[in-house]
Structure 1
C-alpha cells in the first residue's frame, strides 16, 4: 500500500513540474487548462492548427509571464520577450490611446495644424470637388493643405495606437472584465503562433477618416441632374451618387500572420458607434453608407495571412465585420487565407461576416441575427432606393450580407443559423465576384438555406475541398446552435 501511495505522490509531483515548465507537449489541448495562459489549440482543430498545435506562449519561462493593466506595461512586455514564448495576462482595461503615464490621448493630442474637420469637409465637398472628372470619376487622390494635415495627424495617431504582436505569444484576459480598447493589434507579416483569448475589444476609433469621392461613384441618370459634364449647380457630376468615408483601424488585423487562434473574445464599437456620426454632405451624398466612418473592420485577415481560427466570439453593433482577403488584385493571397469560423455570434452586424477572397473558409455553427430592412429593392432604380432608405431610417445596421462570396473564394458553410428579420437566404450569402459556394444544413428564418434565393450570378456547389479539421468539436445540428452559441460565446465564459 505504501509503495502505491508513494507512486501516486511521485506522479502528482511530476505532473505539477510539467505544468510549471510550460512545455507545449504538456499543456492541455482545445483550450482546456486550469491556466488559460498555458492552454493550446490541438492539432487539426480548425485551419489554425492544420500544421500542428497552436501553442502561442504556453512554453513561456517565468520571466516571460506578465500581468499588465496599462498600454506601457503591455508594450514593454511584448518588447522584452520579443519572439520568445510569452504569456501576457490582461487585467482590467488597457487603453491603447494613452501616453506612458496612462493619460488618454484624444483628437486634440494627435491633430497636426491646420487640420480641422469642418474645413476639410468644405475643401472636398462633392458640390465643388466633383465638378471635373478624371477617367469618369472625381479625382480620388485628394490634395491640398487639409488633406496633408489629415494624413500627418493620422500618422501621429497610428504610431501610438497600432501595436505589433510578435510570434509565440499568448494574450489572455484575467477574469470576466478584461478589455483592450481604442487601438489595433496587428499580427504579421512575420508573426506566427499567436493565441488571443477571453478579451473584449472595443472602439478602434479613427479620429481622421478620409473622404474618397470616387468610391462607388457612378454616372446614374436616375438621379436628377446627374451627368458627366458640368453645366451649373443643378447639372453635372456633382449631382451623381457616390463617395465614402474610410477609416484606418481594425480591432485585430492578421496582416500576413500565420497560425493564429482568436477565441472567446468580443468585438464592438464601444460607446462611439458610427451611428453617432451621420452623413455630412447633402443629397445625393447622404445615403446611410456615407456616414462618417470612424471604425474599420473588427478582425481582418489579409496580405497572405494563413491558418486562422476564430471561435466562440461575439461580433456586435457594427457595419463591416471583417475581410478575408483585401483585394481582388492581390498577388500574395492565392493558396492562403485558410480560415475557420465556428460557434461565433453575430448580432446587429451589417455585412462581411466575412467577405472572402481566395481562401478556403470553413464557416460552421455560427449564429447570425440582424434586420435586412432598408436593403435596395432590385425592382427599383438607385435613386428611388436611395429615397426609400432615407425614409426607412433603420435603427441598427442594415444586414446586407452575412457571407460575401468574392473572387476565387471557396466557402464551405455548415449548420449555421441565420435569423434575418425582413430578409431571407439572399442576405445570408451574396455573390460578390465568386463562382463557387456550398452550404450544408444551415437554416434561414427556420427554413433550410435556399440557394435559389441568392441574387446575382449563380454559384456552383463544387468548392473543391471538404472540411476535415474539426479536432474534438462536434458539429451541432442547426436547431441546437442559437442556444449553444449564446451561452458560450464571448469573454468571461472559459
Structure 2
C-alpha cells in the first residue's frame, strides 16, 4: 500500500542530512539530478527522458521490494511519469515481510540437485544420440519437471517488471538492487536506470543442456557415435553446458532505455565457487554450474538503448544483444550505444551481437586471457589449457562477438589484456562485418582487419553499412580512455 513507502515530496536538504550515506546537496541540485535526461544525439537512445516529467506525487524513495513494486504502479497508473529513488539495499529475493528467501524456499519438494545430476549425467543421458547426431537437449523425467517448477517459483518472486516513463536512480553511493532481475519488456518504453549497484542475480535452479556445444570429436579418448561400453560412446564426447535464467537487467523488447553509472557484479557468489560437477571430458571451465546469466542482455526486438559509464565487474557472459540467429525479426532493431563503460575481468560478450547496429567507443576492457582458446590448438588441447591456466577469474575470451547480421562500429576503445592480445578482442560468431578505428590493444594500434581476415574463406568486411552520427561526447584518444573511464564509470560517481 502507498503509505508503506516514503515519498521524497519536499526534496529538502534536511532529508539528506538525516542519512549519513547520502551527500549533502541542495534540494534544487537533487531535483535536477533525478530529473536528468539523456541528451539529444547521445547514442541510439537519444532524448530518453524517463520519469523526468513526474509531478511531486510521483516521486518516491523506496528501500524494499514491496515499496519498489508499489512505486512502479504509480498509484494504479503505471505509465505515468515517475521517479523512484533507491535508498540502501533492496533485496528482490524476499517474502512479503521482507524476509530473505533462498533455495529451500523455492524448491519443489521433489527436486534434489544430486538426483538431478545423477539422472542427466553424460554417462547416463548421452549414450544414445538423436537423428541430429547429438544428445537429446530437451530433458524429460521427474527431476527436470521438479526443477522447472522450482525455477518458476523463484521467477515469480525475483523478476520485477519495469513500467514505461520511469527513472530509477540510486541515492548516494551505496544504493543496491540484489538477487533479482529488472525486466524491461515489450511495450515498455522510456526508461532510465542510474547510479545503482546490481549484484548477484542468482539462479538457484540452472538447467543442464547436454547438447550445448557437444561435438563428435574423436581427439577425445573413447568418443564415438555409437555406445559400446562405459569407456566408449557418445558419453565420452565433449560438450554440454549449464544455463541460468536471470540477468541483472533484461531489456527484452523494451525501447528507449538509458543505463548510466551503474555497477554490475556477482558479489559474494562468483562463478568460481561453482566448478564443473561431471568428470572428464565434461570438466571444462565452461562447464561450471552457471548460476548467473548476463548482466545486461538486450533481446527480442529491443531497440534504442544507450549505456554510459557502467562498470561490469568479474562476470563471464556480460551483455548479449540478440538472442538467436533464427530471430530474423530482430533485423533493423537492437540499435545500441556503449560509451565510457568499464569491462573489468569480464569473460565474453562485451557485447556479443546479432543483427543490431552497435556503436562502441571510449570503452575500457581489462582482464586476463590465461586459458583462453588458441586457434592453433585442438579442442582437446584447449580443454586442457583452460583447466591448467585458469586463474579463478573469468577468462578473457572475446570482447566483441561478431554474430549473424551484426554491424559493430568500434572506435577509440582501449584493451588491456594480460596474457592475450587482439585475437581476444574480437571473435567471429557467424557475422561478416566489423569496423574499428583508433583503438589500442596493450598499447599497440589494433589491426582488427588483418586478424579477423586470417581465414580467407570467411572474409570480414569493414563496411558495416552505417556510420554513427549520435555522439553525446566526441571520442577522446584511446590512450586517455583508462584514466577517464576509471574516474567516471560505476555507481557513486554521478
Scaled by the length of structure 2, the TM-score of the pair is 0.92
How many residues end up aligned between the 2 structures?
Answer: 460
Q: Report the more deviating stretch, 39-48 or 158-167.
A: 39-48
Q: Report the more deviating stretch, 59-68 or 191-200.
A: 59-68
| Alpha-carbon separation, structure 2, partners of 1:126 and 1:245 | 13
| Alpha-carbon separation, structure 2, partners of 1:388 and 1:461 | 32
| Alpha-carbon separation, structure 2, partners of 1:385 and 1:202 | 31
| Alpha-carbon separation, structure 2, partners of 1:449 and 1:383 | 30
Q: Quote the residue 2:481 is aligned against.
A: 481
| Alpha-carbon separation, structure 1, partners of 2:471 and 2:31 | 23
* TM superposition shift of 1:33: 7.1
Residues 149-190 of structure 1, C-alpha deviations (whole Å, 9 max, x = no match): 000000000000000001000000000000000000011211
Q: Quote the residue 1:470 is aligned against.
A: 471
C-alpha contact 2:371 2:388 (8 A) present in aligned 1: no
1:137-148 to 2 correspondences below 5 Å: 137-148=134-145
Query: Does structure 1 residue 490 correspond to structure 2 residue 490?
Result: yes
* TM superposition shift of 1:34: 5.2
Unpaired runs of at least 5, structure 1: 1-15, 17-31
Unpaired runs of at least 5, structure 2: 1-9, 11-28
* TM superposition shift of 1:317: 0.3
Q: Quote the residue 1:23 is aligned against.
A: none
Q: Given the alignment, which residue of 69, 92, 96 partners 1:96? A: 92
Q: Given the alignment, which residue of 239, 257, 272 partners 1:242? A: 239
* TM superposition shift of 1:427: 1.0
Q: Quote the residue 1:119 is aligned against.
A: 115
1:332 alignment partner, SS class: helix
| Alpha-carbon separation, structure 2, partners of 1:182 and 1:395 | 22
| Alpha-carbon separation, structure 2, partners of 1:379 and 1:436 | 23
| Alpha-carbon separation, structure 2, partners of 1:313 and 1:293 | 23
Query: Does structure 1 residue 68 correspond to structure 2 residue 66?
Result: no
1:47-446 to 2 correspondences below 5 Å: 47-49=44-46, 53-79=47-73, 80=75, 81-134=77-130, 135-446=132-443
1:48 alignment partner, SS class: coil
Aligned-residue CA RMSD (Å): 1.3
| Alpha-carbon separation, structure 1, partners of 2:193 and 2:386 | 39
Identify if the C-alpha distance between structure 1 residues 125 and 421 changes in structure 2 by more than 3 Å, giving closer, same or farther: same
C-alpha contact 1:195 1:260 (8 A) present in aligned 2: yes
2:384 alignment partner, SS class: helix
| Alpha-carbon separation, structure 1, partners of 2:104 and 2:311 | 32
C-alpha contact 1:33 1:39 (8 A) present in aligned 2: no
| Alpha-carbon separation, structure 2, partners of 1:377 and 1:41 | 41
* TM superposition shift of 1:114: 0.8
Q: Quote the residue 1:5 is aligned against.
A: none
2:235 alignment partner, SS class: helix
| Alpha-carbon separation, structure 2, partners of 1:415 and 1:189 | 33
| Alpha-carbon separation, structure 2, partners of 1:283 and 1:491 | 41
1:262 alignment partner, SS class: strand
* TM superposition shift of 1:389: 2.0
Residues 44-98 of structure 1, C-alpha deviations (whole Å, 9 max, x = no match): 111001xxx1110011111111100000100111123401000000000000001
Q: Report the more deviating stretch, 135-144 or 278-287.
A: 135-144
1:386 alignment partner, SS class: helix
* TM superposition shift of 1:474: 2.4
* TM superposition shift of 1:332: 2.1
Q: Quote the residue 2:7 is aligned against.
A: none
| Alpha-carbon separation, structure 1, partners of 2:31 and 2:62 | 20
C-alpha contact 1:260 1:307 (8 A) present in aligned 2: yes
* TM superposition shift of 1:385: 1.9
| Alpha-carbon separation, structure 1, partners of 2:475 and 2:246 | 33
Q: Report the more deviating stretch, 279-288 or 448-457.
A: 448-457
Scaled by the length of structure 1, the TM-score of the pair is 0.92
2:330 alignment partner, SS class: coil
| Alpha-carbon separation, structure 2, partners of 1:478 and 1:378 | 28
| Alpha-carbon separation, structure 1, partners of 2:197 and 2:45 | 21
Q: Quote the residue 1:27 is aligned against.
A: none
* TM superposition shift of 1:131: 0.2
| Alpha-carbon separation, structure 1, partners of 2:385 and 2:168 | 46
2:430 alignment partner, SS class: coil
C-alpha contact 1:120 1:146 (8 A) present in aligned 2: yes
